Amino acid sequence: WFTFSEKDVWTLFHSFAFDFSVWEIFGALLHGGRLVIVPREVTRSPEEFHA
């Protein structure tokens, strides 16, 4: 399975209102990782998100 650590970087890609965001937020926080909040405009553009 997965081994998460403080070296991991997580993206908050989904809306706060969407239940999957709980995994994104607390996955990072509970394992000491870094949480990167993706701007809404970038979530609508796969090219920008990949860059």
Query: What are the counts of helices (DSSP H) followed by strands (DSSP E) for the chain?
Result: 3, 2
* CA 5 to the chain's CA centroid: 14
pTM of the entire predicted model: 0.72
Question: Could you report the per-residue pLDDT of 1-49, keeping only the tens digit for each?
Answer: 789 999 999 999 988 888 989 999 999 999 999 999 999 999 899 899 8
Residue 50 has pLDDT above 90, yes or no: no
- In this prediction, residue 6 carries a pLDDT of 95
Domain count, the chain: 1
- In this prediction, residue 33 carries a pLDDT of 95
In a domain, 25, yes or no: yes
- In this prediction, residue 17 carries a pLDDT of 85
10 Å CB burial of residue 28 (0-12, 13-18, 19+) is: buried
In a domain, 1, yes or no: no
In a domain, 44, yes or no: yes
- In this prediction, residue 49 carries a pLDDT of 86
Q: Which residue reads 């000491």 in tokens?
A: 32
Residue 16 structural domain: 9-50
